[in-house]
Amino acid sequence: MKILLLIILGFSSLKSFSQIDSGFIRSLKALDTADILKSDTLAPPNDAFTQKIKILRKERKGLTTENILHINNMKEQQKDTVHSKEFYQELQREITIGKTGHLLENSFINLYRNHFTEMEVDQLITFYKSTAGKKMDNEFILLMVQSVKGAEQLLKIAGKNVEKRFPK
């Protein structure tokens, strides 16, 4: 009975992974041809939902899009021999509080509005204000990197094992 249950669970998880994977892949491919800037940078309504999204975004302290932009800006500065330090300071100011920063904020808010309901944003705010939410926010990227590294190692081992079954 246990073996039958494990087999059923194994096949159902493969099926669900396949469905999630294909839907996720379709969404990613659609982004390649989408003109995201044209619609997503429009000013969102100044309503309660937008205000809640702003609160949620302020609660997030871990790896955010703004942090990634800042890190990329610093990496580019280290490689760049043409532009001055002041250029990169001004670029950072532009993407945080300048016109580009406002367009980025509009884009983020519109993305949240398209992907979450107001009730879900309320739940996320509650979660990120909790001890567990704060820990998840800080630890999530490390967990993802460790998970991917482990999965890559297991994939190599699996490849070697399968290769043994299919001699050249």
How many helical (H) and strand (E) elements, i.e. helices and strands, does the chain have? 8, 0
Longest dimension (CA), the chain: 69
pTM for this prediction = 0.69
Question: In angstroms, how far is the first alpha carbon of the chain from the final one?
Answer: 39
pLDDT per residue as tens digits for the range 32-49: 666 656 658 889 999 999
Residue 1: pLDDT over 90:
no
Of residues 14 and 112, which shows the higher confidence score?
112
Q: Of 90, 97, 92, 47, which is closest to residue 68 (Cα–Cα)?
A: 92
Cα–Cα distance between 19 and 42 in angstroms, integer?
A: 33
Could you tell me if 61 and 55 are in contact, meaning their C-beta atoms sit under 8 angstroms apart?
no
Residue 167 has pLDDT above 90, yes or no: no
Q: Which residue has the tokens 């249950």?
A: 5
Residue 15 pLDDT > 50: no
- How does DSSP classify residue 44? P
